[in-house]
Amino acid sequence: MTGAGTGAGAGTPDFDVIVVGAGPAGSCAALELARAGRSVLLVERGPFPGSKNMYGGVVYPRILDELIPNWWEQAPIQRWVTRRATMLMTPTQALTIDFRSQHWGAPPYNGATAYRPDFDHWLAGVAESAGAQVLCSTVVTGLLRDASGHVVGVRTDRPDGDITARVVIACDGVNSFLAKEAGLYGKVDAANYTVGVKETLALPKHVIDERFGVRGNEGVDYEIVGCTQGVNGGGFVYTNLDTVALGVVLKLPKLAAQKQRPEDIIAAFKTHPAIAPLIEGAEVKEYSAHVIPEAGYSMLPQLVGNGMLVAGDAAALCLAAGIWLEGVNFAMASGMYAGRAAVRALQAPDRATMQKSLGSYTTMLRESFVLQDHRKLAQIPHLVLSDRVQHQYPGFVANVVERMFRVDNPAPKPGLRRIVREERKRAGIRWRDLVRDARTGLKGFG
């Protein structure tokens, strides 16, 4: 690149800003900068944006209203989610809260299923049309700093590949080595991460419509607890037009301790009586896996470095709160705010003022849903992945419901209070734990 030979920090930088990673965070950061007339390079290691990226499958795109008005007219969407279900599962039971809203099947929509190669490619294309330069098949291998330690660009795997910039925004996803190299993370704890594995299962569209009770481009999103074979985690089933995305997320240390393989856990999940009929006869089209930063607020790194910002999964901003797994929207929003903060910083007359302006990124995140939701729901990821929620509550609740629904004549009906008392004892749940967990849940969701 042209930056080679300029010397870190010397001369005119190649770009105002380098954004590393063309996922949702990176593309939104680049879009903001390009629209503000700044020269911005979006570097992506894959052959095209989205080529390396996987997730469960649902985007909550409300933040796009601010960035791309009427985005739904151009975004590559599979289905609009009109049915949201949360399922508690035991090996022989399933309790589902199933909600449907036709409001969600019309603009401005609530959530959509989309393939990441399509969605990320589209979003990066919007940034490119606005003036961002997109450089694919290029791995950023490290940070360039000047003598004072200020970040002044990146190293890439291209021959002669150092590129300089006044600001670097790291959007390189979970395990961001750029954020780590900049010293923005403290000690990294494996307990803060889950691994997500997913199968994409092909079925004809009319079969999906029939089995999931939807029509046209309406779609379904199931979030499931109790389907992970004793390994703490959760599961999901989402509908695309002619595929179903089915997967599990598994807490890393628990997975390692129990020595079970994710593919065996998925295989067992697929045979559950509540799931098997939905996917019967489907052909596995794709198998993919990726790590998720799942511990929420407690694992966030410093968001601002010396000449550098970090956004999206690179900043652990994914929110996994049980009834939602939201990462793409948090990535898009944090990328957008990082872009805005960089635009502001670039107007500064000197480096000290510029560094101070970069700090406005944290303020913007604090004033938006990004940090407000993370703060409010700070305890929820821990609660959802706790042993009680994972291994005791699904059976307890399912047994209570089973006994309430059961007609035991000639025995008289036992009544809810007696059933709860007996089932709580049977599940070995202490009242004080139940009350404490209920309080934590209310504090987060309430």
User: Which residues contribute to the site for ligand FAD (CB under 6 A)?
Assistant: 20-26, 43-46, 52-53, 55-59, 139-140, 171-173, 196, 198, 247, 249, 290, 292, 312-314, 318, 325-329, 331
* 355 vs 2: CA distance, rounded Å: 25
Tell me the residue nearest to ligand FAD as measured from the CB: 327
Distance between start and end Cα atoms, the chain: 52
Say if CB 61 and CB 71 are below 8 A apart. yes
Which helix (H) or strand (E) segment holds residue 355: the answer is helix 351-358
Buried b (16+ CB within 10 A) or exposed e, 43-73: bbbbebbbbbbbbbbbbbbbbbeebbeebbe
Residue 248 CB, nearest distance to ligand FAD (Å)? 8
Nearer of residues 166 and 290 to ligand FAD, judged by Cβ:
290
Residue 304 CB, nearest distance to ligand FAD (Å)? 16
Say if CB 237 and CB 186 are below 8 A apart. no
Nearer of residues 90 and 164 to ligand FAD, judged by Cβ:
164
Residue 292 CB, nearest distance to ligand FAD (Å)? 5
Residue 20 CB, nearest distance to ligand FAD (Å)? 5
The two tokens of residue 379 are: 């305890």
The number of angstroms, rounded, from the C-alpha of 52 to the middle of its chain's C-alpha atoms is 15
Residue 341 CB, nearest distance to ligand FAD (Å)? 16
Residue 424 CB-half CA count within 13 A: 13
Residue 371 CB, nearest distance to ligand FAD (Å)? 15
Buried b (16+ CB within 10 A) or exposed e, 368-390: bbbbebbebbbbbbbbbbbebbb
Residue 339 CB, nearest distance to ligand FAD (Å)? 13
* 170 vs 158: CA distance, rounded Å: 18
Nearer of residues 221 and 423 to ligand FAD, judged by Cβ:
221
Say if CB 221 and CB 111 are below 8 A apart. yes
Residues 440, 441, 444, 446, CA torsion sign: negative
Residue 363 CB, nearest distance to ligand FAD (Å)? 20
Nearer of residues 333 and 427 to ligand FAD, judged by Cβ:
333
Nearer of residues 184 and 328 to ligand FAD, judged by Cβ:
328
Nearer of residues 154 and 354 to ligand FAD, judged by Cβ:
154
Nearer of residues 126 and 328 to ligand FAD, judged by Cβ:
328
| Residues in CB range of 52: below 8 A, 6 or more apart | 45, 46
Q: Cα torsion for 376, 382, 388, 394, to the nearest 10°?
A: 70
Nearer of residues 66 and 433 to ligand FAD, judged by Cβ:
66
Residue 346 CB, nearest distance to ligand FAD (Å)? 22
Nearer of residues 226 and 247 to ligand FAD, judged by Cβ:
247
State yes or no: cis peptide before 410, omega within 30 of 0. Answer: yes
| Residues in CB range of 324: below 8 A, 6 or more apart | 60, 223
